[in-house]
């Protein structure tokens, strides 16, 4: 592995923001040199865009390393497995484009997202007047809730001789508790047919991963979402229900974070948020529309507009510190071209006094007013730039300020969505 500096062994790519920073695109590229690509959290709420010689894809659960036919792609036990998305959307999308794979393994212990989880997600969101989270309505919160309650159906249950009874009992309870009207016969038939389709991919991911590590193979972990959406350290309750940060790897694969050689924290050159919750550096001027349009800031999964904000170094540093990020990947710097003055948030104030990010406390964050530094922009189109030296001086200064503040090197800069549209510093 030599595209990124000091990169070999075990590497994690995690969002150090509110998601959608380009995890799919960097994984697709780095996966060409990986033996294992392992997704560890989230479910079909994720939308990872990959643009390569096969076409453009929106992946939700299938790891973005699927285009490397020599590698093994793992879906770990910490992933909420939504078979409707996996089979009726992703597998079809990939097959239509001529993508084939040999080694995809879905962990038997992963919890299934069932139809009642999606219904509950929708009912909860729609019934809320205040504190709507703005979920993707993919049933992810209820799936993790049932997992924690130890009542979730797991992938392996699909093959149990008692599957029909297990399913019927659970549907009875769901119908009663949540006033649903689900037919167990219909769901049974549907999931039996899904079970048949995915049978060749079912396995135990941890032994595969550990064997590969013991042999010194290159492993790439693919996170979903971003650390600011972490159930424990994000802007609760405006978060997702899993751990997008480094802890998610431990929970899914029993691999201690100290064994990970490289942690790549990925963020856009600005920031975005989709759904509700505080965002101190939200752009309220007409630059908001410019960034939405130039950056195509429309959610991959939900089709909603993502709110843009200036890059928030307070939050970025909180994320890089918490996850011991060893290198930062910045995407979409091309989108900032022609913006005359670019702001970057370097501190907060509450009632005129300095304030910090307190993980998990979104009320406190909602009170924070950003302190900005302003950078002169650049006019050049950056999409053809492949070397750091060739960037305009103002773009270089912008990157250097990020490195200086976070005390972490920026080793990847995205200048377009395609696999090749990147600068490896
Ligand atoms: P993910 O969820 O982190 O994988 O990110 P998404 O796929 O949801 O959103 C990132 C969007 O930005 C996608 O539409 C990508 O194709 C696009 N993208 C990624 N990197 C770049 C970049 O460097 N420049 C531009 N212009 N677009 C990018
Ligand atoms: P990727 O992997 C951006 C957001 C939702 C909502 C909150 C909770 O593509 O970066 P959920 O459906 O998880 O219960 O919604 O989290 N959210 C994301 N935002 N990117 C994602 O994934 C997201 N997955 C969930 O918009 O605010
Ligand atoms: Mg996304």
User: What's the gap in Å between 224 CA and the centre of ligand 2?
Assistant: 8
User: What's the gap in Å between 297 CA and the centre of ligand 1?
Assistant: 9
> Which residue from 3, 51, 9, 6 is spatially nearest to 30, judged by alpha carbons?
3
Domain assignment of residue 206, yes or no: yes
User: What's the gap in Å between 319 CA and the centre of ligand 2?
Assistant: 17
Domain assignment of residue 46, yes or no: yes
Ligand 1 site residues (CB inside 6 A) read 15, 19-25, 47-49, 51, 296, 300, 331-332, 334-335, 414-417
CATH number of 96's domain: 3.40.440.10
Indicate whether 104 and 221 sit together in one domain: yes
Which residue from 240, 267, 304 has its CB within 8 A of the most atoms of ligand 2, so it is best to mutate? 240
Q: What's the chain's length in residues?
A: 425
Indicate whether residue 41 lines ligand 2 (CB < 6 A): no
Domain assignment of residue 127, yes or no: yes
Which helix or strand (DSSP H or E) is residue 122 part of? helix 115-127
Indicate whether 305 and 379 sit together in one domain: yes
Indicate whether 205 and 193 sit together in one domain: no
207 to 41, 109, 203, 417: CA distances (angstroms) = 18, 13, 10, 34
Domain assignment of residue 2, yes or no: no
Indicate whether 313 and 410 sit together in one domain: yes
Indicate whether residue 19 lines ligand 2 (CB < 6 A): yes
Indicate whether 155 and 286 sit together in one domain: no
Ligand lying nearest the CA atom of residue 49: 1
For atom 25 of ligand 1, the residue with the nearest CA is 416
Indicate whether 17 and 133 sit together in one domain: no
Indicate whether 365 and 376 sit together in one domain: yes
Which residue from 40, 42, 45 has its CB within 8 A of the most atoms of ligand 2, so it is best to mutate? 45
> What does the alpha-carbon distance between residue 277 and residue 290 come to, in Å, rounded to a whole number?
22
Task: Provide the 3-class DSSP secondary structure of residue 282.
Answer: strand
Domain assignment of residue 150, yes or no: yes
Task: Provide the 3-class DSSP secondary structure of residue 190.
Answer: helix
Query: Which of the residues are catalytic?
Result: 20, 48
Indicate whether 247 and 271 sit together in one domain: no
267 belongs to an annotated ligand binding site: no
Average pLDDT along the chain, 425 residues, taken 10 residues at a time: 69 98 97 96 97 96 97 98 97 95 96 98 92 95 98 98 97 96 96 97 98 96 98 96 98 97 97 96 93 92 91 98 97 97 97 95 96 97 97 98 98 96 95
Question: Which residue, of 263, 282, 311, is where some domain finishes?
Answer: 263
Indicate whether 392 and 325 sit together in one domain: yes
Indicate whether residue 120 lines ligand 2 (CB < 6 A): no
305 belongs to an annotated ligand binding site: yes
Ligand lying nearest the CA atom of residue 19: 2
209 to 71, 205, 256: CA distances (angstroms) = 12, 6, 13
pTM above 0.95, yes or no: yes
Which residue from 13, 20, 275, 303 has its CB within 8 A of the most atoms of ligand 2, so it is best to mutate? 275
For atom 14 of ligand 1, the residue with the nearest CA is 49
> What does the alpha-carbon distance between residue 305 and residue 261 come to, in Å, rounded to a whole number?
36
Domain assignment of residue 5, yes or no: no
CATH number of 321's domain: 3.90.170.10
Q: What pLDDT does residue 5 have?
A: 64
Domain assignment of residue 44, yes or no: yes
For atom 3 of ligand 2, the residue with the nearest CA is 19
Characterize 336-373 residue by residue with b for buried, 16 or more Cβ atoms within 10 angstroms of its Cβ, and e for exposed.
Answer: bbebeebbbbbebeeeeeebebebbebebbeebebeee
CATH number of 166's domain: 1.10.300.10
240 belongs to an annotated ligand binding site: yes
Indicate whether 148 and 72 sit together in one domain: no
Indicate whether 179 and 272 sit together in one domain: no
Other C-beta atoms closer than 10 Å to the C-beta of 260 total 20
User: What's the gap in Å between 167 CA and the centre of ligand 3?
Assistant: 32
C-alpha dihedral over 88, 91, 97, 101, to 10 degrees? Answer: -170
11 belongs to an annotated ligand binding site: no
Indicate whether residue 141 lines ligand 2 (CB < 6 A): yes
The two three-digit tokens of residue 422, written as one number: 């990147």
Indicate whether 50 and 98 sit together in one domain: yes
Domain assignment of residue 120, yes or no: yes
Domain that holds residue 159: 114-198
**Residues sharing a CB contact under 8 Å with residue 78, sequence separation 6 or more, in sequence order:** 40, 41, 110, 242, 243, 248, 251, 252, 253
Query: Count of domains in the chain?
Result: 3
Q: What pLDDT does residue 303 have?
A: 85
């Amino acid at each position: 592995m030599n595209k990124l500096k000091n990169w070999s062994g075990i590497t994690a790519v995690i969002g150090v923001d509110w998601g959608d920073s380009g995890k799919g695109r960097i994984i697709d590229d780095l996966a060409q040199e990986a033996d294992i690509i392992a997704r560890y959290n989230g479910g079909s709420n994720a939308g990872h865009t990959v643009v390569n010689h096969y076409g453009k894809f929106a992946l939700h659960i299938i790891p973005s390393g699927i285009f490397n036919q020599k590698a093994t792609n793992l879906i770990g036990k910490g992933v909420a497995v939504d078979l409707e998305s996996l089979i009726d959307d992703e597998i079809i999308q990939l097959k239509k484009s001529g993508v084939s794979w040999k080694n995809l393994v879905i962990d038997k212990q992963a919890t299934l997202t069932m139809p009642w989880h999606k219904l509950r997600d929708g009912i909860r969101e729609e019934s809320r007047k205040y504190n709507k989270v703005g979920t993707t309505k993919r049933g992810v919160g209820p799936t993790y809730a049932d997992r924690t309650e130890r009542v979730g159906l797991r992938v392996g249950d699909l093959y149990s001789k008692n599957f029909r009874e297990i399913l019927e009992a659970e549907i009875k309870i769901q119908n009663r508790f949540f006033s649903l009207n689900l037919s167990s016969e219909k769901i049974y038939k549907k999931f039996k047919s899904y079970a048949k389709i995915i049978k060749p991919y079912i396995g135990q991911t941890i032994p595969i991963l550990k064997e590969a590590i013991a042999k010194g193979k290159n492993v790439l972990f693919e996170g979903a979402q971003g650390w600011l959406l972490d159930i424990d350290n994000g802007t609760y309750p405006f978060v997702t229900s899993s751990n997008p940060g480094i802890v998610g790897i431990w929970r899914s694969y029993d691999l201690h974070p100290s064994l990970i050689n490289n942690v790549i924290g990925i963020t856009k050159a600005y920031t975005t948020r989709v759904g509700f919750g505080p965002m101190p550096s939200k752009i309220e001027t007409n630059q908001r529309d410019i960034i939405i349009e130039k950056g195509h800031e429309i959610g991959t999964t939900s089709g909603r507009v993502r709110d843009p904000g200036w890059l928030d170094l307070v939050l970025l540093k909180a994320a890089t510190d918490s996850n011991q990020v060893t290198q930062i990947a910045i995407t979409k710097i091309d989108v900032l071209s022609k913006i005359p003055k670019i702001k970057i948030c370097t501190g907060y104030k509450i009632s005129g006094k300095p304030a910090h990010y307190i993980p998990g406390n979104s009320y406190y964050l909602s009170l924070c007013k950003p302190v900005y530094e302003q950078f002169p922009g650049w006019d050049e189109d950056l999409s053809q730039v492949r070397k750091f030296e060739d960037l305009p001086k103002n773009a270089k200064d912008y990157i250097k300020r990020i490195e200086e503040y976070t005390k972490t090197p920026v080793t990847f800069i995205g200048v377009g969505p395609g696999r090749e549209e990147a600068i490896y510093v």
